[in-house]
Every structure is written in C-alpha cells, then in structure tokens.
Structure 1
Amino acid sequence: MSIEPKLKRFKQSVLSKYQIYNSIFMTLPFDTITKTGVLLPLFHETCKKGFAKGDDPTTIVDTFFKKYQARRTKESQINLLFRFIQYIERQVVLFDAIEDAAFPVVNNMEGIGTLRNLKGSAISEGKLEELRKYLEEFKVRIVLTAHPTQFYPGSVLGIITDLTEAIKANDLTQINNLFAQLGKTPFFKREKPTPYDEAVSLIWYLENVFYQSFGNIYNYIQQNVYDDGKKHNEIINIGFWPGGDRDGNPFVKPDTTLKVASKLKQAALKKYYADLKDLRRKLTFRGVEERVIRLETILYNYSINLDTEKTIECRELLVELLSIRKVLIKEHQSLYVNDINSLINRIHLFGFHFASLDIRQDSRIHHKVFSTVIDHLIETGHPLFPKNYHDLSEEDQIKILSEVKDANIDINAFEDEMVFNTLKTIEVIKQIQNSNGEKGANRYIISNNQTALNVMQLFSMLKLTAFKDDLTVDIVPLFETIPDLENAPSVMEQLYTNPVYMEHLKSRGMKQTIMLGFSDGTKDGGYLMANWGIFKAKELLTEMSRKYDITAIFFDGRGGPPARGGGKTHQFYASLGPTIEDKEVQLTIQGQTISSNFGTLDSSQYNLEQLISSGILNRLRKDEHAMSEEDKAVMNDLAETSYQTYKDFKSHPMFIPYLERMSTLKYYAKTNIGSRPSKRSKSDKLIFSDLRAIPFVGSWSQLKQNVPGFYGVGTALKAYEDRGEFYKVEQLYKNSKFFKTLLENSMMSLTKSFFDLTKYMSKDEEFGAFWNIIYSEYTTTKKLLLKLTGYKELMENEPSGKASIEVRESIVLPLLTIQQYALKKIQELEKEGVKDTEQIKIFEKIVTRSLFGNINASRNSA
C-alpha cells in the first residue's frame, strides 16, 4: 500500500471530522463567561501570526487583549486565560477520541506487521513450520507501570471511551451530551492518587481492553497458525508495577502489594464469571448446562469474596472446562466449541493472577536494609556471619551469602520501618504465590544495580525470609547509567560462575532476565549513547550468557517519548540482528503510551501484533540486520562524540539554573498526577542525580526544546561532514535498520520542537547564551538529518504521523503561549521583589494547569 492513501485516510477520517466536531464543541456554553468559544480561535490566530513575526508570548497575550478585549479588567483577563486552558484541554480529548475512532480506518489492520500478514509471508516463503516453532518459544511481555505521564483522571478516560464509540456511530445527540459532560468534569486531581488508586486505574485497561485483545490474538494463532486444538505457548503476557514498584515511592507498603494482588485476582475472576454467564445461555444441553451453572455460581461468589468457603483452583477450573468441551465435541456436534475454547485460552493466559506483579527496589535501600539484618544476625550469634563481615572483600561476602540457609528471621525484631517493610514484602510475595499462583508475583527487580553483591544480597534475603528451600522468584538486575551498562557483562559473569546462583538458574529453566533502562540512560548519556550503550550491552550480555548456556531475556525500561526509549518501539525489535538474544520482547509501557498505543481494542490488538511480528521477523530475517565491523565503528564513534557533547552541555554552569528557573520542572510536583515524589532526595537544592527522568524529559518537552531526544546528534554528524567522511554515515544509514530507527525517532523529537516559543530567552542577560547553544544544536541536527535521509522535511516518510503531530501542536499553541506568559510574569514579579504572593500564586496555577493539556496532547508515543 502506498504512503498517499494513509495520509488521505487520515485527512478524511480524522482531520475533517475534527473540524466539524470542533465547530460544534466551540459553541457550547461551558462557563459563566460568554464567548470563550468565539474568542479562542481569535487568540489562536494572534499566537500564530505573533510567532511568525518574531513576537514573544507576553507581547502576543497583551496584543490580543488590546485588540479584542480592551475593556476587560486584569482579573477578568486572567479568568479568560483559565477558560482558554479549560477549552483547549477538552479539544485535546476530542482529538484523541476522533483519532481512536478512526484507528482501524487509518491503519491497515491486515497489513505489514499484523499476524495475518506474518502468516501469509511465512506460507509464501515456505516458512510456516519455522513460524510455528518460533511461536512455541517466543514471548512478548508488556509491563504496565504507574509512572505518571498521563494526566487524565479515570472519569475523563471513561468519557474518551464513550466519545470514541459515539463518533464511530456518528451519534450526534450522544456526542453533544458527552461534550457537555466533558465541560463539567474536572481534569485535574485535587489530591495525589495513592499507589492503590494507580493500580485500580490500570486494572481498567486489563478488564476493558487486554482481556479481549490478548484473547483474540491467542485465538487467532491457535486457530490459524496451528489449527490443532492443543494448548500452546501463551506468547503474550502482562506485567504490572503499581503496588509493587517501591523505587523512590515511600507510599508502597507491603499491604498495598497484597491489596493490589487481591484486586487483580478478583478482576480476573469477574471476567471469567461474565464469560460463563454468556456461555450458560448457549450451553443449554443435558449433561452440560448444570456443570456450567455450578462453575458460574462458584466464580460469582469467589469474585465477590476471596475468602468464601467454596473456592476453585485455577487448574481445577481448566480441567472442568476441558471436560465440558469433550462432551460438546462428542455429543453435541461441537456446538459453541469456539466460545468455550476462547474462555479456556483466556484462563491459560491470565490464570488467577491477571497480570504478574513485579516488585522493584533500589540497590542502595537493599544495602542499608541488609546491613541491619546482618548486624542482627551477628548479634544473635548466627554461625555463618563473622563479626568482621562488613570489612570483608566483596568476593568473600558473596561466598558467605551463597551459603545462606534457613535462619528463621523474626521480622518483628526490626524497628526500622524500611527494614521491616522490605522483609515483609518478601513474605508477601510468598503469600501472593500461594493465592494467585506463582505467576502472581515472581520477579524482583533491583534498580540502580551496580555489582554482583547487589544481586546476592537480595538472593540471600529472599532465602532468609520466606523462600528457604525453593526460591520461586527471578532476580532481575536493572542497569541504567552508561558506566553500569558497560559494567553489566562482568557483573553477570560473576553470578554465572557462582555455583549456588547457577543452581538457582537451573531451577528457573536456565533463563536470566536482565533489565536495561532508557530513561536514566538518556538523562545520563544523551540520546545516541543511551541507545547504543544498551545495544552494545545486549550484545555482550548475549555472548556472555550463551557461553554459560543461559538464555538472556532482555527487559527494556521504555518510556513514552524517544527521549525515554519510546517512539516506534516495534521497529527497534525488528532491527536487532543475530548478535542479540531475542526469545522474548519485554518492555514497560506507561502513561499516555498505554492510552495511545493500547487504549482501545483496535489499537491494542494492532500494536501487540506489531510487537509479536517485529520479534519474529528479526528471527526469520536475522542475518539481514547484522552490522558490519565498519558500521559498528562509525556508530560507536557517533555515540562517543554525541556523549561528550551532551556531557559538556550538562556540566554547563547554566544547565541546572535554566531548568530550575526557565522551565516547568518545579511545577511537576504540584500536579497530583502520581503517588511518587518528583525527585529522589528531600533537599531543597536541585541536584542533577536526584532528578527523575519523567519531570526532566517533560520539562524540556514543555519548553518545546526536546533536548534529550536529539542533543549531540547534530554535532556527531557534523564531525563526519567536517572531515569529508559523511559518506560513512550514509553507508551506516543505508545498512543499519537500528540506526535508521534511532534517527527516525529523533526526527519525531525535532518535529515536536518549536523554538519560536522561547526565542525571547535568546536576549536574556543570564540565559541568552545558553539558549543559543541549544538552538544551534537543534538547527545542526535538523539540517544534517535532512541531508542524511534526503528528505525535504522532517518525518517525510510518515506523513500521517506528522499530520497528527501538527494538529496536536496547533491545538496547544495557545496553551504553550499562556504558560510562557505566566512563567515570564512570575520571573518579573520575583525580580521586582514583589511580596504579593497571591499574584504569584495565580500565575503559578496557570503554569501548572497548562502542563496537563500540553502533555496529553503529545501522546503520539512521543
């Protein structure tokens, strides 16, 4: 299918509809101030023209009021700006809903990357048997995280879903009602959500989207690829972080984890009950009906009360359904056998756990906790730990930890809350495994993992606390910073050569999951180096693991934007080549990436199929993606130059002050979108290492300067141009799909940048020179990416994606203008030493409120 029709479909199904519905939307009286809907287009036009002729945001806002609203009081002007924010937030929702409704029309649901297409290609290439073999051992795991990059409360998500349906049906009455509801529904949370609240809002996706889409995909593979009615590898599964992710979140307690696990189990049981209720209406045959009714009754009671007397084990439920299926085939001409198969498949996929709850904590916390535990064991005379344990070398400590057996720790002996909670959490994992099955909670991720000792501390803690003889938990080290990525292979070799740890891996099927994080990698090393650092680490870890007959499973900590490892992720997995282990694709998805890529049945199914296909295609066409030594040398050199450029930029004396005073960084903490604090330490001083990746990347995005998604790329390319060796980069671009994908994602970051918004900063006494450094890197990167790709404009190869970004950026242009206007007012008032904090508070509120719409609008996985 050529490019043109997709853009055409986008214009017809999205753009035209948006213009029609937006004109209806603008006439609705949402508020006491009349004419807001009439004035917003005028303000939008003023912004557009103002930036085109080089005006700054303050001039644009002042011009608008002078020209159209000269009689308004200052208070009335502020009120109108708030109304504009309110309208624009809702325009973003409208565009989201229209885009969701048009998803199956704009995207070819049977085109490249879909299962139907994959099966067709395998048949035509004579590789169907090979495809079946791969599908038996290949897995995709998407892990839902609570990281707050999504600003919609649950009530608004519900409206988006209903609005999408109404738009699909062209139901004008319903659309009007939903517009009115949208106008009266608050868009921001007055209080921070608890970790449990975050879990509940993500369980909504499990119940309403993934239960359906995972089931459909599995059914399709079973019926169309195998067609033998047998149980096969589940292929797709789902991980879950809310309620288990303790890293930097003091509000996740052991009872939170238990509560979330119970909620997950109940949600799964409710879905099975609903399916059985439907089956009951169909399976009205003798010898079948009463058995279905019995199961339905048990599951109904069990889903309401997990402590009910009459329960059923997951295996028992499956055995009974398989037995009923046998009767249907034998005695009732296989009537409705596909319906019962569908339920059996879903139970096979989701068990009684629905999603696997991961536990995560920072290695530095473990170290503190473990030191306290050791001190306690030394005091109580445990024979294994000598008094000088803390003075021993890392090697000797690991040797002792390898020998840990039953110590029967009484966790109540520890008064320190962090120590008690960490040990209690280990007991909770065991409890969850007993109630939800082993998959309910069987992974413990150590973030900021730097050494083999970090892993062995947790290994022995798990054994000392709850897993005495049989450790049914995978320990997953997470390597994030550039030095940690470089060090990862030697850490893993230390573990692989430890006989006790090796025994543990044998009991876990000789598989070792290793997590690699993009967010902090980009923050630490810049865009190119973060991605290349991970690629190289994966290669070396693959080689190291294969040497010891271990299958490495890579789990990628990807965020929404390219700057946090996001962007077009399936293209990454299709481009890895033969040197990287690819039995499984595992990645985190969060915030607006969940709602944009997996928020509806259509988008969820399409994007899951793309992920499955990308992993499989990488295996079927492995050798096409192998990088030559020359290409690797060029890639490495580009990454090193870019890394140095980014490091120099980061150590610029104005880097932290600029973020602190010119961006929205400090306002993130005031948005009440996530339960986690926005930085790691409690100090008032802003320290770079304390910064979380989400506010960091988000602040650059609000400035429309997307630095983490491109900085250093231009300088690296320019070095080749200056040396007259640009042809080497062109060669790499032509040969390497990995490099190509990297640059395409970087183009998305550039496309979403808009330097006219902050051009006024270039004249600032304090920050002018710093702003110019950023702008210069932006123009260099843009110019050389166009030269390299041969495009006339950015994202030329993705016209519908580019068009979507353009509409979204256009919708929020007035919002960005208002935000910059308010930031400038705050700076002016602070310079004047104004004591009237009420005035400052109002402008701060404008900045915070305008954060919401800006973030929600940029949901193109970017």
Structure 2
Amino acid sequence: MHPTDHESAPSQDPHHPLREDIRLLGRVLGDTVREQHGEATYELVDQIRRHSVRFRRADDQAARQALEATLDSLSREQMLQVIRSFSYFSLLANIAEDQHQIRTQRQAALTGHAATEGTLEHALGRFAAKGLDAQQVLDLIGHAQIAPVLTAHPTEVRRHSILHEQMQLARLLRERDLTPQTPEERAESEEELRRIVLTLWQTRLLRPTKLSVLDEVANSLETHERTFLREVPRLYSHLEDRLRADLKQARAPQADELELPNFLHVASWIGGDRDGNPFVTAQVLDSALRMQAECVLRHYLAELNNLGLELSISALLANPSEALLNLAARSPDQSQHRQDEPYRRAISGLYARLAATYQQLVGRKPARPALGEAPAYETAAELLADLNVIHRSLKANGSVSLTRGRLRQLRRAVQVFGFSLAPLDLRQNADVHEQVIADLLEAAEPGSQYLALPEEQRVARLLDELQTARPLYSPHIDYSELSRGEIAIFQQAQLAHQRYGSQSIAQCIISKTASVSDLLEVAVLLKECGLLKPARGADAPTLAVNIVPLFETIGDLRAAPAIMDALLSQPLYRALLQSRGDVQEVMLGYSDSNKDGGFLTSGWELYKAEIGLVEVFARHGVRLRLFHGRGGSVGRGGGPSYQAILAQPPGAVQGQVRLTEQGEVIAAKYGQPETGRRNLEVLVAATLTASLLPPNKDVPPEYLDVMEELSATAFAAYRHLVYETPGFEQFFWESTVIAEIAHLNIGSRPASRKKSTSIDDLRAIPWVFSWAQCRIMLPGWYGFGSAVEAYVQKHGEAGQQRLQAMHANWPYLSSLLSNMDMVLAKSDLAIASRYAGLVSDKALSEAIFGRIQAEHDRTVRHLLAVTGQTALLERHPELQRHIADRHPYLDPLNHLQVTLLQSFRERQQRNEEPDERVQRGIHLTINGLAQGLRNSG
C-alpha cells in the first residue's frame, strides 16, 4: 500500500521525514500482502486505496462510484484481506506519527529553538519572566501531588502481542533516525523491518477469549516496566537539576543538598475498580497487588545487580564511610576476591535482603538468587535508608558523579514506587455501599430499616457508628453475598497496608455520590476493617485512606458544592481530614455527565462545580485536590492535557491534579518511553503553570451568563434527542456497532451496568466509542449549534461579537471549542448516513438522522463563525492534513463494516447460525477504525 505522495524538499518541510517513513511502511506492507496472498490481492487492495484517495482529494464522484462498486463485489475472504490491509496501514502510520513527534521535539532541542509549550523549560522560563524564583517553585512542589491514574478500558482494541511488535517497530524507526547507517546496515535494518511487519501481518488482531482483570493488570505492568519505572525518576532528576542550577545562580545555600519531595506518581484502578465489574473480587485485588509488587521488586533487583557491577570501587583507592563499611560487614558476600570492594559487598547485602522481601511478598524466590541469606526489608524506607548510606559515602569521598547515575535513579524509584509500584484505588457505586451498611445494621439491630431513613437521620446514625469502637460486622453472621464481597475487599485493603505499606491503597472512590451519607457509609466500612480508628481519650480519630466522592451526572455536579459544604461542616469528618493533612480529594466525571447532558452542558457544569468547590474549600480551610475522570475522546473529556489543565477556573489546581488515563490512551501516551516522558512532563508543566500563573481571576460576569444561557439551550436540545425522542434507543442500537462491541473480547468489564438496552444503563465508554465508529461523533458536539443559533437570534450581531470575544479571551471556551473543532473534522455525515440505513424502521431513521444532520450543519457553521475560521482546523493545518490523509483509509473500512453488519443482522433475523467470517470481519473493522481514529473511546 503506497500513500499518496506530497512531494516537497526535506529542507523546506519539517514533516518530510514523517511522509518518508509512512511511504516506507506502506511499501513494506504492500509487499507483505503481495508475498502472502498474491499479486491479485495486492492489486485489489491498491485499487481500492487509489479510488478512495481520488474521491477524498478531488471529490471525484466517479471514483466514489468505482470504490463502492469494487467493495460491493468482494467475496468474504477478499473483504477480510482488505480490512486487514487498511487496519494495519493505520496501525503503522500511528507508529510513524509517534516517532515523528519524538523526532520533532529532539530536533528543536538540538537546534536551540525556544522551548515549546508543555515542557518544563518553557514553564520555568515563563516563571522567571514573571519574576518568580526557584524557591517559589519549590514551595509549590512541597505540597503538590500530580498523578496520572491508569484505568482499564472496555474499548482498548489492541492485543498485547500486537503492542509488542509495535514497540519493536518503533525502536527500529528510532534507530534508523538517530544513527547514520552504512548501505549494508540500512539493508539489514529494512530486512528487520520487513520481518516485523510480516510478524504483525501473521499475528491475530482479535482475542479469542475475553480479557480477565488480571490480564489487564499484566498489560498495565508492561507500561510500568517500559516507561514509568525509568522515566519518572529521570523526570525528577531533570527538574531537580534545573532548579538546583537556578538556586546556585541565586547563591542559595541549600542548592547542593536539594532533593525534591515526592510530588509525581502513577496510580491505578486496574484490579481495584469494582463499579459495575463483578470480576473484581478480594482475591483479584490481592493478586493485582502481588503482581505489582513483583514488577517493582524485579526492577529493583535488576538495578541493584547492575549497580554492583558498576561500583567496583576499592577501599585501597577511595575511603568509604563507617556506615558503608558496616553495611558491607553485614553482607552475606564474604568472597576473598571482593574484600577490598565494600560497595559491591554492601550492594550484595541489599540484594540479599531485597530477595528475601521478594520471596515474602511474591511467594517465590527471584530468578537471580542472592549470595546468601538475609532478613527481608519490612518497608521500602529501610531499603532507601541503605541506598542513602551508599549515596552519602560516595559523596563524602569526592565521588559525587557516581551518585548521579543508576544510584540516583534507583533511590528516586524506591521513594516514588515503594514496594507496591502504583497506589491502587478502590472504587464502588454508592448504591452498593448503602446496601452493605443496611445489611450490617439490620444484622446488628433487627428492624433498623436504614434504607427507609431520610438523609438527616442516616447521617446521624452513621456519625454515631463512627464514634464508637464497637464493630458492626461479625464473621459469625451470614450476610448477603454482596455484603460479604464488599467487606472482603476492605479487609484485603487493610492487609495490603500491612504487607506493602499504606501507599499501596490510598483512595476509596464512591461512584454516583449524591449525598453526605454516601461518604459516611464508606467511612463506617473503613472503620469495620481497621482503616479508620475512632477517637480514644486524647487521641484524635485517624483515617488511613482518602474518601473520595465522584460526582458524575449533571444533577450530581450541581449538588457537589453543597454536599461538600455539609460534609466539611461535620466536626468528626474534619477531624478525620486532619489526619490526612487537611486535603480532600473530589473526583469529577466527564464521561457520564456528557452522556447525561451533552458536550456543552457537561463542560459548563464541570467548570461551575469547580468554582463552587473552590469557594467551599477556601471557606473551610481545606486544600482541594480535583481528580478529573477524563477519557481519551473529546466526548469523554479528552483532548490535550496541557490546555485542559490551564483552562481550569482560578484556584482549581493549586499544585494538586489527578486524572485518569484509559486503555487506548495508555498505549498511545505512555507505550513508548520517550513519548511517556513527554506526556509526564506536560502534566507537571501544566500543573505548575496553572498553580503559579493562574488565569485571570476576573472572568467577566457576562461570560458566565452567556455560558449559562448557551448551556440551557444545548442541554434541552441534547436531552430532547437522546432521552425524549421515541425510538431513539432503537436508532442507536441499530445504527451503530454497540451490540457487536458488547460481544467483542476487548475488556473485562461489561458494556452496560445492567442487562438492558437502556441508554441510562450503558457505560459512557462504549456509548462514545459506538458514535465514533459510525463517524457521527455525536457526544463531542451535539447541541452546540442549536445553542449558538438561539443565542445569536436573540442578541443579534452584538451576541455574535460577544461569543467571538469570549473565544479569543477566555482559555476555558477556546479549549472547549478547539476540542470540538477536532471532533467535527473527524466526523463524516455522508458515511454516517449508511449506518442510519441499517435501522429497520425507515421513517424513524430518516426523522432522527435528519435531526442529527441538521444539528451537525448548524454546529459547524456556528463554530466557524465564533472561531473566525473558514474551514475546520484552519488554525491547525498539520492536524487538518493528518486527519484528511487518514480519511481515505477509513472510508473502505466503514463501507465494509456496514455491509457486514447488514449481512450479520439479516442472518440473525432469520435465526440462522452466524457466519464466522462475517463476525470476524465486523470485529476487524472495529479494530481498524479505532486505530485510524485513535482517540475514539
């Protein structure tokens, strides 16, 4: 497959290397198709590509007709080969684009260009220009917490085997780019590239069985091993060195001793998120924690082994400290060959202790045995203390440079990752907690009827429980299966604190939080399992984990400030917060609020909720940490993280940011170490910038009034279509691939919370993913056109000018519309119309799709008017061209997906056995379109 040429001289076009890489990969893929399936198959695929390109580039209707005729004439086997060819091309193009991003950033650094937005250099430069010094940055970092949180994803379509080959291909492209090669080396490189592409071609894209939760844990650990364990410490070192240089320049006495506190870590939900996932049990939680411990301890053991090889320092040539000699003396390594090498012997002792820790926590010995027996470390702090002995000894004998390599990275890794690797968040629905509390109370006090109590009485009852040491739970009572499962989870969390440390589980998140009692119910459950200790005498109550409300629906977001105000007004809860450093985390749900109220209203209610929460927390003197439940797609709060963080309302960041990174986004953002480092740096730079250089606090009140008016209209338009239009549910299920997604083996979690076709019960992720597949992208824009049209009709030209001024001067709105701009560029209503044709009720289909099409036209027209563009993505020409270049490779997949869906559903209606090739073809098109669209779920 050969992408269409865009000839330009390399010296004039910075994107020429990208196009060269895509041409190379396309050529190799085409050769692979030819070699594996013959010239006829290759010619067929290339003919389809040429027709599709010609139609897209020149709006050639003859080419469109030829494309459709060719696709309609394919046999089932030919369809599968065409689908696989176009899917793999998108996959290969993605790899090339990711490598080009790394190349571009590197080139900018090599040529001395000004630091780009989103880098630490750019952020620190801005601080200096504004008169802020390094100490002010350090003061912020002292109480900062920044955390990407990995979550499992029911629309992650790539198998681990495919990801592995992608990484190998990325490595090869990087080597070809960085190292001058002889003709022989170039030929060897291309031969290896061909082997990788052939392996990909012969590797099954689809999973034969559904992923288990522990499969998802294992996949996430690959990302930790490849990226986080190495790149997080490197990022700390880079920022530390940069700030140390600034302090030295200012002649600050603490410059040489500067070591940053832990402020950046990576957390996870995978193995702890039970909301709607019945497969997450106490046993799974235990296994997930053990797998994480094994991963991080294996890394430490490997690094210690390498460190021992490096530090071959002889005591005859350098003077070790007394503490270092004591470490060496306790080591089981008593080899005569190393008697004068105390650092090696000391490190052998650390290795032996860590190997014992590995056996204690993992349940077996590590692959590389220790030289002898030694007691296990009880905590990661003990390991760090021993590493610090080595660090101080080297520093004292004038070997500072030896402290700055592997030892420095290992010390930081131990500080950040401990023995648990990633803090594992627990999450469950508030309704479940409520049922468990009712069950416990009924068993302890028959007739308590907790579920019948009004909110005020529930709160009083729960507060009474929190003030007594008397347990509600008894192991001798037979509770419901639900209650037993939940209690077992909390008990397992308490055991995790004992085994891995308190950082192993630090969050307990409550989905669908709607009241103060929802939080106090979790507090009671934590008390039952020893993670909350009531006040005793002069001892204040203590809380071992954060209790985090998750406000998801539009109504919940509107109620959030009042709920938190009432909670923080409770003296007992405030006392518990003091034991957590007077920091309260609040999670905001982007996905469900969008599904509930549409794109514009979701974004606005999130913004308002943050303003309200900032005011409430300031009044109570509690630090607010916002946890943003964002997805990969714009319809689920996705989009560039840097702009999203800077667009937060004043006071909403304060050095504290957590945000979810989900499924396909994990691989895209953190699969490659260089890309992962860049995305981590973006989070840090954005958080520091938003905290130290917050947006103008004086957002004109009229802006808020305008948004309120726009949101009300958009909300009504969206709700009227999705929830109030008879037959819309049928239209959605029949015009999208939602039913087929539900049966695709792409995640451990069910697509719906309940066994129903109700949109209320459907998870937000497959909701968004389905609209992306049919190219409507409805969750990313619907309602905006109606809102702006009504506003301009009411306020005339002055209203239009006001909207344009808001876009130009308000980061919140410019970020919102920038994301919508990208989504609309990816949409295609002509293709979507073919999916609408799948709906059995033709009158219903025409009515609903007609409304969608009209709203799409309104939205594009008014978006262009507000932003001042003449075409979508006009201000982002490279992204515009990138999306346009992808369309010819997506169109055939969409066409074939519709054809296959039609065939599959007709057989269903006739009660015939499904054609396995048709099912596989549908699932392959889902995979291919997800690859091509990238952030689609």
Pair 1:36 & 2:112 matched: no
User: Which residue number corresponds to residue 836 of structure 1?
Assistant: 912
Q: Distance in 2 between matches of 1:418 and 1:514?
A: 26
User: 1:394 is matched with which residue?
Assistant: 455
Conserved? CA contact 1:596–1:861, under 8 Å: no
Scaled by the length of structure 1, what TM-score is found?
A: 0.93
Instruction: Please report how far the alpha carbon of residue 55 of structure 1 lies from its aligned counterpart in structure 2 after TM superposition.
Output: 9.3
Q: Structure 2 regions of 5+ residues with no counterpart?
A: 1-7, 110-114, 177-188, 245-254, 316-341, 366-373, 534-541
Partner in structure 2 of residue 676 of structure 1: 749
**C-alpha distance in 1 between matches for 2:527 and 2:78:** 62
Match of 2:351 in 1: 296
TM-score by length of 2: 0.86
Structure 1 range deviating more: 514-523 or 369-378: 369-378
SS for the counterpart of 1:552 is strand
- Which residue pairs with 1:775 in the alignment? 853
Residue 188 of structure 1: aligned partner: 206
Query: Where do residues 170-319 of structure 1 align in structure 2 (5 Å cutoff)?
Result: 170=176, 171-226=189-244, 227-285=255-313, 286=315, 287-303=342-358, 306=361, 307=363, 310-312=375-377, 313-319=379-385
Aligned-pair CA distance for 1:752 = 0.7
Q: For residues 468 and 710 of structure 1, do their structure 2 counterparts lie closer, same or farther at Cα, with a shift above 3 Å needed?
A: closer
1:145-184 counterparts in 2 under 5 A?
145-170=151-176, 171-184=189-202
For residue 541 of structure 1, the aligned residue among 588, 613, 621 is 613
* 1:828 shift after superposition: 5.5
> Aligned in 2, Cα 1:421/1:498: closer, same or farther, shift over 3 Å?
same
1:813 CA drift (Å): 2.0
Q: 1:515 to 1:64 in 2, by over 3 A?
A: closer
Residue number among 107, 110, 118 corresponding to 1:113 in the alignment: 118
Give the stretch that moved more between structures: 44-53 or 180-189.
Answer: 44-53
Report the Cα distance in structure 2 between the residues aligned to 1:800 and 1:844, rounded to whole angstroms: 36
Over 3 Å counting, the alpha-carbon distance change for 1:391 and 1:98 in structure 2 is: closer
Task: Specify the code of the residue in structure 2 equivalent to 1:407.
Answer: R
Is the deviation greater in 591-600 or in 574-583?
A: 574-583
Partner amino acid, structure 1, of 2:557? L
Write out per-residue CA displacement over residues 705-764 of structure 1, whole angstroms, 9 at most, x where no aligned residue.
000000011111112332312111112112201100000001111011011213346784
- Is structure 2 residue 388 aligned with structure 1 residue 322? yes
Cα deviation for residue 17 of structure 1 reads 1.4
Partner deviation per Cα, 1:220-251 (whole Å, 9 max, x = no partner) = 12222134333322221111011100000001
Aligned to 1:849: 924
1:333/1:151 Cα in 2 relative to 1: closer, same or farther (>3 Å)?
same
Q: 1:511: which partner in 2?
A: 583
Among 467, 472, 476, the alignment partner of 2:531 is: 467
Distance 1:41 1:83, change over 3 A: same
Percent identity over the alignment is 25
Equivalent-residue separation in structure 1 for 2:84 and 2:836 (angstroms): 31
Per-residue CA distance 1:682-701 (angstroms, 9 max, x = gap): 24xx1121111111111110
Q: Please tell me the residue identity of whatever aligns with 1:116.
A: E
Contact 1:9 / 1:106 at 8 angstroms: preserved in 2?
Answer: no
Letter in 1 for 2:819: N
Larger displacement relative to structure 2 (845-854 or 122-131): 122-131
Q: State the SS of the aligned residue for 2:142.
A: helix
Q: What CA distance in whole angstroms lies between the structure 2 residues aligned with 1:49 and 1:803?
A: 15
User: Residue 141 of structure 1 corresponds to which residue in structure 2?
Assistant: 147
Look up the match of 1:372. 439
2: CA distance, partners of 1:626 / 1:605: 35
Match of 1:417 in 2: 481
Deviation at residue 511 of structure 1 after TM alignment: 0.8
Distance 1:320 1:558 in 2: 40
Q: Partner residue of 2:128?
A: 123
Which residue in the other structure is 1:383 paired with?
A: none
1:54 Cα deviation (Å)?
Answer: 6.6
* Whole-angstrom distance in 2 between the partners of 1:588 and 1:634: 30
Q: Does 1:632 align with 2:638?
A: no
On the 8 A contact 1:762/1:769 being kept in 2, the answer is no
Q: Secondary structure at the match of 2:746?
A: coil
Q: What's the offset of the Cα at 1:11?
A: 2.8
What letter corresponds to residue 82 of structure 1 in structure 2?
Answer: L
Q: How has the CA–CA distance of structure 1 residues 95 and 412 changed in structure 2, closer, same or farther, with 3 Å as cutoff?
A: farther
CA deviations on 1:478-534 (whole Å, 9 max, x unpaired) are: 000000111111111221111111110111111110000000011000001111101
Shift of 1:32: 4.8
Report if the CA contact (8 A) 1:314-1:352 is conserved: yes
> Aligned ranges for residues 639-788 of structure 1 at < 5 Å?
639-650=711-722, 651-683=724-756, 686-723=757-794, 724=796, 725-760=799-834, 764-788=842-866
Number of the residue aligned with 2:180: none
How big is the shift at 1:335?
Answer: 4.3
Task: Give the drift of 1:433.
Answer: 1.1
2:141 is the alignment partner of 1:80: no
Please say which of residues 138-147 and 798-807 is displaced more in the overlay: 798-807
Cα distance between partner residues in 2 of 1:58 and 1:586 = 50
> Given the superposition, is the C-alpha separation of residues 565 and 9 from structure 1 closer, same or farther in structure 2, using an over 3 Å criterion?
farther
Check conservation: 2:653, 2:690, Cα contact below 8 A: no
Secondary structure in 1 aligned to 2:205?
coil
Distance in 2 separating the partners of 1:446 and 1:347 = 30
Distance 2:54 2:401 in 1: 66
Q: 1:800 to 1:210 in 2, by over 3 A?
A: farther
CA distance in 1, matches of 2:389, 2:848: 71
Counterpart-to-counterpart distance in 2, 1:458 and 1:64:
56
* Matched residue count: 839
Of the three residues 600, 605, 616, the one matched with 1:528 is 600
Q: Which residue of 1 aligns with 2:502?
A: 438
Query: Counterparts of 1:255 and 1:143 in 2: how far apart (Å)?
Result: 22
Counterparts of 1:455 and 1:266, CA distance in 2: 33
- SS of the residue 2:543 aligns to: coil
Distance 2:649 2:751 in 1: 37
1: CA distance, partners of 2:272 / 2:530 = 17
Counterpart in the other structure of 2:428: 361
Query: Shift of residue 341 of structure 1?
Result: 2.0
Report the residue type matching 1:176 in the other structure: R
Query: Residues 8-47 of structure 1 correspond to what in structure 2 (within 5 A)?
Result: 11-29=15-33, 31-32=36-37, 35-47=40-52
Whether the 8 Å CA contact 1:355–1:440 is kept in 2: the answer is yes
Code of the residue aligned with 1:240 in structure 2: it is S
Separation of aligned partners in 2, 1:167 and 1:318? 38
Structure 1 residue aligned with 2:648, among 566, 576, 600? Answer: 576
Q: Using a 3 Å threshold, how does the CA distance of structure 1 residues 645 and 56 change in structure 2: closer, same or farther?
A: farther
1:7 deviation in Å? 13
Deviation of residue 88 (structure 1)? 2.1
Asked whether the 8 Å contact 2:147–2:659 carries over to 1, the reply is yes
1:449 Cα offset (Å): 0.8
Aligned match for 2:622, one of 550, 553, 556: 550
The one-letter code of the counterpart of 1:167 is L
**Root mean square deviation, CA, Å:** 2.5
Distance 1:663 1:424 in 2: 39
* C-alpha contact (below 8 Å) 1:102/1:168 kept by paired residues: no
Looking at structure 2, the residues matched to 761 and 614 of structure 1 have their Cα atoms a distance apart, in angstroms, of: 40
Is the 2:154–2:751 Cα contact (8 Å) retained in structure 1? no
* Matched position secondary structure for 2:399: coil
Q: Secondary structure at the match of 1:413?
A: coil
CA contact (8 A) 1:213 1:604 kept: yes
* 1:434 Cα deviation from its structure 2 partner: 1.2
* Aligned-residue offset at 1:417: 2.1
Correspondence for 1:586 among 638, 658, 670: 658
